[in-house]
Amino acid sequence: MILPLEHLLVIEDSRVAEAARVDVSDRMKSRIPVVLLACGSFNPITNMHLRLFEVARDHLHQTGRYQVIGGIISPVNDNYGKKDLVPARHRVAMARLALQTSDWIRVDSWESEQAQWMETIKVLRHHHSELLRSLPRMEDPDQGSASSPTSAAVPELKLLCGADILKTFQTPNLWKDTHIQEIVEKFGLVCVTRAGHDPKGYVLDSPILHRYQDKIHLAREPVQNEISATYVRWALSRGQSVKYLLPDAVISYIREHDLYLRDASPERNEGLPTQGGPTSSFPTTSS
């Protein structure tokens, strides 16, 4: 969104707005192009997933150093083995529907189509090489006819995630240390805050993260909106409305394909009240 001139004259927030939105060609040339990659179940995709991208983009633009040129949603492989995971073809289709109206984010099914589950680092490496392959080639005088992408134009691929994922780096044996290092050192992380998480703390507590803290961008979501996919699945299995939590097109798809109908057991929904459902409320009110 390009702000009209009169808004630039307003002192309040103008510098921020200018950095984020104004199309100044000089600035553009020196900004590092970035593509954001989000890995996850997307089971199903929700408005909150989509928000992560918007918040991350705003944050990176605000630093003045980056220009976000694309976003990729990579739904996890079915062999990940997470409970209640609906087949990848559905999760990919739903993400595609959700992104119909986005002009910069797309879904990629490569990860979900592999024979087995693969570590996030492999997905990052794959998309990074794809990114390099798709760049316009420039003649390199030193190497004769061989061509290489200009270093100034090479986009950086960054892993986009919520603060809860950052915390999982601490879980023993969940991530390989060498992978964590490669993720932050070679690619970089954009981490969007979530309620109940202290991402700064996670970074300081981890030697690897601490060392590469300048490659970890902590973006603050100004409008807290905690739409957990777990909650959405629970609501769907109870016949409750999820309208305005997910795009309408995704809801239609879920209904057409009878997804998420089975009521998940309480153990699968930690943190949610076990006495749930439409008729439970507070004892003092009439029902």
Partner 1 sequence: MENSEKTELVLLACGSFNPITNMHLRLFELAKDYMNGTGKYKVIKGIISPVGDAYKKKGLISAHHRVIMAELATKNSKWVEVDTWESLQKEWTETAKVLRHHQEKLEASICDLQQNSPVLQKPGRKRKWAEQKQDFSEKKSLEQTKTKGVPKVKLLCGADFLESFGVPNLWKSEDITKILGDYGLICITRAGNDAQKFIYESDVLWKHQNNIHLVNEWITNDISSTKIRRALRRGQSIRYLVPDLVQEYIEKHNLYSSESEERNVGVVLAPLQRNTTEVKA
Q: Which residues bind partner 1 (CB under 8 A)?
A: 1, 3-4, 7, 10, 12-13, 16-17, 20-21, 47-48, 50-51, 54-55, 57-58, 101, 195, 222-228, 231, 240-245, 248, 272-273, 277-279, 281-282, 284-287
Nearer to partner 1, 134 or 275 (CB): 275
Residue recorded with tokens 């809801």: 251
Q: How far is the CB of 143 from partner 1 (least distance, A)?
A: 42
Q: How far is the CB of 31 from partner 1 (least distance, A)?
A: 16
Q: How far is the CB of 262 from partner 1 (least distance, A)?
A: 19
Nearer to partner 1, 161 or 245 (CB): 245
Q: How far is the CB of 208 from partner 1 (least distance, A)?
A: 30
Q: How far is the CB of 111 from partner 1 (least distance, A)?
A: 23
Structure tokens that stand for 50 in this block: 């989509």
Give the residue from 144, 139, 114 showing the smallest Cα distance to 126.
114
Nearer to partner 1, 82 or 220 (CB): 220
Give the residue from 94, 98, 99, 92 showing the smallest Cα distance to 78.
92
Q: How far is the CB of 180 from partner 1 (least distance, A)?
A: 29
Nearer to partner 1, 134 or 286 (CB): 286
Angle at 131 between CA 127 and CA 132, to 5 degrees: 120
Are 80 and 253 in contact by the 8 Å Cβ rule? The answer is: no
Residue recorded with tokens 């309408």: 248
Sheet holding 189-192, edge to edge: 105-107, 66-75, 32-40, 156-162, 189-192, 216-219
Q: Determine how many CB atoms are found less than 10 A away from the CB of residue 178.
A: 10
DSSP code, position 44 = T
Nearer to partner 1, 170 or 281 (CB): 281
In angstroms, the CA 36 to CA 18 distance is: 22
Nearer to partner 1, 152 or 272 (CB): 272
Q: How far is the CB of 92 from partner 1 (least distance, A)?
A: 19
Helix (H) or strand (E) holding 252: helix 248-256
Nearer to partner 1, 6 or 214 (CB): 6
